[in-house]
Structure 1
């Protein structure tokens, strides 16, 4: 088995980038955000106004095209999705994408600042996976649906996989998110996550698609080629910006297209390197937990709400900080009366 290189496209506008992508005949991926229509509302904020599905006609001639939900960008800019799951799934059905990823909740430290937030986002991730899958079945595109796992620690991804057990089947490609800012080595590194999932998933179960993986990781991933189906990156865009700054020239689409092809060729060369020995390390220190009764009530409130979200009894986008505190206060009072 080999690992497929999926190249990220910044847009589908006719021009040098799309022309080069057609000539390269590599699998490509676009973000839902690059197909969005926005307008500036009164007050200066941006307002989402639907999809520019007409630009999908420009994808003609590409080898294949995948769709990503743009989770990290949207969480960083808007703290959430500006569209509904129904909106996103309408986009997924508007073009014969090879694969479309579930709308996900990324768990990078820049987005999820503490442990409770990571766990909350995993619960929401389970709920959005379930809703995307259900709508995909209704739209007749279930065969192209790609579930996505999220987390901070390797065990988080296992928790997510257990909650999505209905997707962990042979022949299914499962996305693995929150990878692009992750180190290759270390107890929470890329290799630790992949090695952990390889151990806990069924041997003949799903293969993994890794979002945002550094090209330098490829030789280290080769021993997992039986499990890793593909990696995706748009790192060539950053290289193009850096090159333009260094040379003090404009970052034109023609310059960017050259970097896209050069980056892709470099990754294909890395696939021909000898596999490197995997040095994974695992955490041994226990996670400290506050003994304060109010902190304990907050943790329990989070846990109970997460369970309702994962079971589908509570909408994933309805929870607010005030609601959690009210729930925790009720738990705290009940414990105080019982004691």
Structure 2
């Protein structure tokens, strides 16, 4: 999967223009959105707006490193197919610097999961499966990205 990299929206656009693609695939990545603000000149929404203006209509995006607090703000964006996040683990590590066992970390992951389930409840049925199948077609392994499922 091609992945656009940059810091400013203009850098993501430049990266897209430099990609040596004959045809655009249905899914590309947008990297390095962890530690980003949502709003502002270099925010996630500004990046989405910039790449939306230049990508062919059929291209959807996977966002790498999205904060869980951003999910509801991007859920209805027509380009966003999937996201991944380690925000749950960062929060777990910050909350308990030592003595983190798997039960503790899994509890934080469950919070993220139930947030995703709640978000999926407001999306149109079939929307997620249509844009991001749950298993990699070649390897048969589960995707590491967060797929928001229909309830």
The normalised TM-score by structure 2 is 0.72
Structure 1 unaligned blocks of 5 or more: 1-145, 275-339
Bigger radius of gyration: 1
| Superposed structure 1 runs of 4+ greater than 3 Å apart | 270-274
The aligned counterpart of 2:47 is: 193
Cα distance in structure 2, aligned partners of 1:158 and 1:165: 14
CA change 1:270–1:221 in 2 (3 A) is same
Higher helix share: 1
Contact 2:68 2:88 (C-alpha < 8 Å) held by counterparts: no
Give 1:149-188 correspondences, 5 Å limit: 149-166=4-21, 169-171=24-26, 173-188=27-42
2:108 aligned residue? 259
| Distance in 1, Cα, partners of 2:88 & 2:30 | 20
Q: Aligned-residue CA RMSD in angstroms?
A: 2.1
- 8 Å Cα contact 2:75-2:119 kept in structure 1: no
C-alpha separation in 1, matches of 2:72 and 2:22:
28
Match of residue 83 from structure 2: 231
TM-score, length-scaled by structure 1: 0.34
Question: Aligned ranges for residues 81-120 of structure 1 at < 5 Å?
Answer: none
The equivalent of 1:337 in structure 2 is none
2:75 aligned with 1:222, yes or no? yes
Deviations 1:164-223 (A, max 9, x none): 15176242x21111200110001111000011111111112x211101111121222123
Rounded Cα–Cα distance in structure 2 between residues aligned with 1:194 and 1:212: 14
Q: Is contact 1:147–1:167 with CA below 8 Å preserved after alignment?
A: no
1:269-288 alignment to 2 at 5 Å?
269-272=118-121
In structure 1, the residue matched to 2:92 is 240
Shift of the alpha carbon at 1:232? 0.5
Q: Does 1:213 align with 2:62?
A: no
- Which structure shows the bigger proportion of residues in strand conformation? 1
Give the conservation status (yes or no) of the 8 Å contact 1:219–1:273. Answer: no
Q: How many residues align?
A: 123
Structure 2: state its 5+ residue gaps. Answer: 124-151
Q: Deviations over 1:30-85 (max 9, x none)?
A: xxxxxxxxxxxxxxxxxxxxxxxxxxxxxxxxxxxxxxxxxxxxxxxxxxxxxxxx
Aligned-partner Cα distance in 1 for 2:55–2:19: 12
Contact 1:184 1:190 in 2 (8 A): yes
Distance 1:180 1:167, change over 3 A: farther
The 1-side partners of 2:24 and 2:48 are apart by: 17
Measured in 2, the distance between the counterparts of 1:212 and 1:238 equals 11
Contact kept in structure 2, 1:219 and 1:271, CA below 8 Å:
no
